[in-house]
Structure 1
Amino acid sequence: MIIGNTGVIKDNPTDIRDDILNQAIDNVEGFTNLPSGIQNNLLDESVIVISEIQDMLSNVMNSVSPLYANDFMILELGEAFGLKIKDKALPNTTITFYGLAGVVIPEGLEISNEDSSKKFITTKSDIINASGQVSIYCEGADYYDTPTPANTLTVMLNQVLNVTSCTNLNDAVETTPAETISEFRIRFQNRALANRSGTVATLNDELKKVEGTVDRLCTYQASQIVEEGVSKAVLEVIVGGGDDYQVALAIFNSVLYPDIFVSNPSNDETNRTVNINVTFNEVDFPITYTRPKINQLSINISLTVQSGFINIPSEAFTLLLRTYFLNYINNLKIGYSPTGYAFDDLIYQCFKDNFYNISIITGINYTLTVNDEPASLNAQRQLQTEFDEAYTLLNLQCNLTGASV
Structure 2
Amino acid sequence: MTGFALGVDQEEWCGQLRALAVQRLRPLAEKGEPGRVNRPLLAALGELGLLERVFASGALELCLLRESLAYGCTEAETALALQGLGAYPVLRAGSEEQRERWLPRVRTGRAVAAFALSEPGAGSDAAALALAATADTAAAGGGWRLSGEKCWISNAPEADFYTVFARTGEGPGAKGVSAFLVPADRPGLSGAPLDMLSPHPIGSLAFDGVPVGPRDLLGEPGRGFRVAMDTLNLFRPSVGAFAVGMARAALDATLAYTADRTAFGGTLSDLQAVAHRVAEMATRTEAARLLVYAAAGAYDRGAGDVPRRAAMAKLLATETAQYVVDHAVQLHGAVALQRGHLLEHLYREVRAPRIYEGASEVQRTIIAKELYGAAGAAVAAR
Structure of greater Rg: 1
Question: Shorter-chain TM-score: what band?
Answer: under 0.3
TM-score relative to the length of structure 1: 0.25
